[in-house]
Amino acid sequence: MPFTPFHLGPGAFFKAIGGERLSFMIFGGSQNLMDVEPLARMIRGDAVLHGMSHTIAGAFVVALVSTAVGRPVRNAALHNSGIGDHPIGWRVALASAFVGTYSHIGLDAVMHADKNPLWPIAYGNGLLGVISAKALHILCVVSGLLGGGFVALRAVRNA
């Protein structure tokens, strides 16, 4: 997806479901890491924007990097913010990164013809056009509103 922020909508929804077992910060970080390759290819003027990073194998590696970088950054950032949030463990970090990268390739596959998610096992993209790009964007926004609303409600109730 050319606009990474759309991925944050489902992220808010996953956060609403996962609660303490999912770090929205690491989920978000993994979205940015996923789209480093398409951005670099866009700048280079490549015909194919979604390469290795947008395959199941590539997303696995991006998730590991997101975990290794994201956990210490997330824990330090929230520790220094004074919010009083407790540090997360490697399991939560890993789960957040994998939910992030695999939801990313799933959503991107719906609207990008240059993706081969199953490379090197298979070429092609069976999810392309399953729903329209407009419907996909609406789904992302609605899931963000629902998830964000639920997370906010839970925070108010626990305050």
Candidates 75-83, 105-113, 132-140, 147-155; binding stretch for Zn ion (CB under 5 A): 105-113
Which span sits near Zn ion by CB under 5 A: 10-18, 104-112, 115-123, 141-149?
104-112
Least separation, in Å, of the C-beta of 103 and Zn ion?
11
CA–CA distance, 80 with 147 (Å, rounded to integer): 26
Q: Give 94 or 108: the residue with its C-beta nearer to Zn ion.
A: 108
Structure tokens at 29: 């970080």
Alpha helices, DSSP H, located in 5-159 = 8-18, 24-34, 36-44, 56-81, 90-111, 133-158
Least distance CB 87 / Zn ion (angstroms): 29
> Interacting stretch for Zn ion, rule CB under 5 A, among 11-19, 28-36, 41-49, 134-142?
28-36
Q: What does the alpha-carbon distance between residue 85 and residue 120 come to, in Å, rounded to a whole number?
A: 41
Q: Site for Zn ion (CB under 5 A): which residue of 15, 27, 28, 35?
A: 35
Q: Which of 98, 108, 143, 147 binds Zn ion (CB under 5 A)?
A: 108
37: contact with Zn ion by CB under 5 A: no
Nearer to Zn ion (CB atom), residue 87 or residue 129: 129
Q: Report, in Å, the least distance between residue 37 CB and Zn ion.
A: 8
Q: Which residues contact 75 (CB under 8 A, 6 or more apart)?
A: 87, 88
Alpha carbons 97 and 62: distance in angstroms, whole number = 8
What CA–CA distance (Å, rounded) separates 68 from 93? 8
Q: Tell me the number of residues near Zn ion by CB under 5 A.
A: 2
Determine how many CB atoms are found less than 10 A away from the CB of residue 13: 22
Q: Residues interacting with Zn ion, by CB under 5 A?
A: 35, 108
